[in-house]
Amino acid sequence: MIKLAKKVRNIIKYRTFALICVFSSIPFSIFGTIINFTPIVSIIGFSLIVIGIATILIFWKCPSCNRRLPFRFDKDNDFTYTYVCPYCETRFYDDGTMEQ
């Protein structure tokens, strides 16, 4: 029997947003420590890290089994259009659909 795709919250977009926040915070943090007279740059870098981690903690979980997905980053798999839950084998697509 063919299972149809079910529409769910698009967790891949949240993951992409969180990764952009975390990776863009690195230059802000480095420039903030090199240039000591502008602490606002360090504050922006720290804020981006906090926003990225909070996004991962809140939204990066499987909508099917409701377990938290791994935090590790894999450049070959994280920027693709699909992700597979390692616990329940549910497949998620970047258009907000999933297949069990």
**Read out DSSP for 52-82?**
HHHHHHHH-B-TTT-PBPP----TTTTTSSE
Name which of 66, 68, 46 is nearest 57 in CA terms.
68
Report the pLDDT value the prediction gives residue 79, as an integer from 0 to 100.
Answer: 57
Give the closest residue to 66 by CA, choosing from 83, 93, 90, 46.
Answer: 90
pLDDT tens for the chain, 100 residues long, are 455 556 667 788 888 898 899 999 988 888 877 777 677 888 888 999 999 999 999 988 888 888 888 877 766 665 567 778 888 888 877 777 767 6
Domain boundaries, the chain: 6-99
